[in-house]
Structure 1
Amino acid sequence: MILDIYKDSLEYSAKDWKTLVILGVICFFSFLLLPAFLITGYNYRVINTAVHGVINGRDPLPDFEDLISMFVDGVKFVIVQILYLLVPAIIFLIFALVAGQTNGVAASAIMIIGCIITFVAFVVSEMMAQMGICHMAYNDGAFSKAFAISEIKEVIDEIGWFECIATFLGLIIITFVILFVVSAIIGIIFTAFGVSTAILGINPSSIFILGALINILITMFLVGPYLSIFNSRSIGLLYTMQI
């Protein structure tokens, strides 16, 4: 089932390259902060489509319409993420404060234990946050449903904690592999050009700079948006496994 989710999401994310470019342009202006919420808002729409769809269905990519609603959804998306991540942050801060009051081996031991507990809390909190966003989307965008802890826990229990963790780990691995492969291909191509120009006695530095620039542009305008949709779609479909 997990492999079916990945397969569906990989294909779904490549349905419309124009959408990827539009997201890339919005991403380019994310330093202005406000456009960043449009990206998270679009991801929310992808999740919303997924939680009301089926694996290997014919779901279309969301349209870029009603940008105000998309922006509001993006803000809600970010708030949910931040509030859930406050839990591991507070846990780490408590351990850091306690360790600061001790010395030597005791301080180190406390920080090691604190880091382990914080990591576990982070994994659980991030999973709850993602499923909370899906639960919010499934319940017509009701913000309170993102924090309905007992209901979200039931969802994860129904899917299976192992399946959820395995899916999230798989998403991380696939994301890094795709980024690495794309960068490696571009690097190999421009390295070959650079070596060729060096053999001809031409300074290859401009070739390498061009390669780095193209790598950044392709990642920003195509690969990054593609992976963003892929991850959102996968998480939404994971939620449907309990329905």
Structure 2
Amino acid sequence: MILEIYKDAFGYALKDGSTLLKLGVLSLFSFLIIPFIFLLGYEYRIIKTATEGMINGNETLPEFNNYTTMFKDGLKVLAVSIIYILISVVIFLLLFFIGLTTNMESIIVLAFIALIILNIISLIFSALAVTHMAANNGSINAAFHIRELKDIMQSIGVLKLVGSYFGIFLISAVISFVVYVFVFAVVGILGFAVSYVYVDIVPAFIWALSIIVDLFVALVVWPYLNIFSCRSYGLIYNLRE
């Protein structure tokens, strides 16, 4: 079933090239806060569409419209993500402070271990929380109904949920790595070929191609993987009984 979800999400991300490019523009400028919030808002729409659909359904990518609503949804997603991450950070700081004041290195080490584990748990819960919020008409309170989130995790299966989320991360990481390696290999080969004719321009040539690679990844690869991930989150949520 999880593999079917991944397959569906891969195909879904290719349904509309123009929408993919629009999302790519937001991705390209996501280092700025406003485009980043709009990016989160659109990803929220993808998750919501998935929670209302089904595996191998005929859902299309959401439209880029109602920008005020998209921005508000993005703010909600950002707020939920920050709050869940803050929980792990606060626990880390408390343990770290205790370790410093008591000169107990074991507690300091424990603090860093706890930070890693709690961040993973926070990421899982925040992804599920945002999906649960989308399935409940955007109610931000639904994102913090811990008992409901635990019930959903148990209904889907904790190992299945965690494993499927890890699969999403792993697939995205592998695809990104392969794309970078392949494209930079091509850049290296082209740079080597150019060096036989125009030695002086090789650094500038490679620099220009590197920029093109980064633009390609930001405009196409990352948006594609974002759509894949968000679609997968919504469909995995639908596995609950």
Query: TM-score, normalised to structure 2's length?
Result: 0.95
Q: Which residue of 1 aligns with 2:96?
A: 96
Tell me which amino acid in the other structure corresponds to 1:148. Answer: H
* Residue equivalent to 1:167: 164
How far off is 1:207 after superposition? 2.3
* Higher deviation after alignment, 212-221 or 121-130: 121-130
Q: Size of the alignment, in residue pairs?
A: 240
| Structure 1 segments unaligned to the other structure (5+ residues) | none
Residue 237 of structure 1 pairs with residue 232 of structure 2: no
Shift in Å at residue 30 of structure 1? 3.2
Shifted more, 222-231 versus 22-31: the winner is 22-31
Distance 2:82 2:32 in 1: 19
SS at match of 2:90: helix
Equivalent in the alignment of 1:111: 108
Q: How does 1:126-137 map to 2 (within 5 A)?
A: 126-137=123-134
Is the 2:77–2:130 contact (alpha carbons within 8 Å) kept by the matching residues of 1?
yes
| 1:201 shift after superposition | 4.9
- The list of structure 1 runs, each at least 4 consecutive aligned residues, that deviate by more than 4 angstroms after superposition, is none
User: 1:133-148 alignment to 2 at 5 Å?
Assistant: 133-148=130-145
Deviates more, 1:192-201 or 1:136-145: 192-201
Structure 2 residue 56 is matched with structure 1 residue 56:
yes
Bigger Cα displacement from structure 2, 177-186 vs 213-222: 177-186
CA contact (8 A) 2:26 2:35 kept: yes
Q: CA deviation at 1:95?
A: 0.9
Kindly, what percent of the aligned residue pairs are identical?
Answer: 35
The CA deviation string for residues 66-121 of structure 1, in whole angstroms up to 9 with x for no partner, is 00000000000110111111111111001110111133xx32x1122222223222
* Range with greater deviation from structure 2 (217-226 or 206-215): 206-215
- Post-superposition Cα deviations, 1:165-218, rounded to whole Å, max 9, x if no partner, equal 111211121111111111122112121111112123533212211221111100
* 3-state DSSP of counterpart to 1:53: coil
* 2:216 alignment partner AA: I
Aligned residues of 2:28 and 2:215 also touching (Cα < 8 A): no
Please identify, of 79-88 and 24-33, the stretch whose mean Cα deviation from structure 2 is larger: 24-33
- 121-130 vs 218-227, which deviates more? 121-130
Contact 1:17 1:222 in 2 (8 A): no
Aligned-partner residue type, residue 127 of structure 1: I
> Hey, what's the Cα distance between the residues in 2 that align with 1:192 and 1:124?
42
Alignment-derived partner of residue 207 in structure 1: 205
Give the equivalent residue in structure 1 for 2:46: 46
1:190 is aligned, of 187, 190, 194, to: 187
Q: CA RMSD, aligned part only?
A: 1.4
TM-score (norm 1): 0.94
Q: Where does structure 2 lack aligned partners over 5 or more consecutive residues?
A: none
Per-residue Cα deviation, 1:20-70 (whole angstroms, up to 9, x for no partner): 211122233334411211100000000000111111111100000100000
Cα 1:47–1:218 change in 2 (3 A) is same
Who is 2:222 aligned against?
224
In the alignment, the residues of structure 1 paired with residue 121 and residue 30 of structure 2 have an alpha-carbon distance, to the nearest angstrom, of 28
Is 1:27 paired with 2:32? no
Q: Distance in 2 between matches of 1:191 and 1:33?
A: 34
Listed as ranges, the matches of 1:146-161 within 5 Å are 146-161=143-158
SS of 1:126's equivalent in the other structure is helix
Structure 2 partner of 1:36: 36
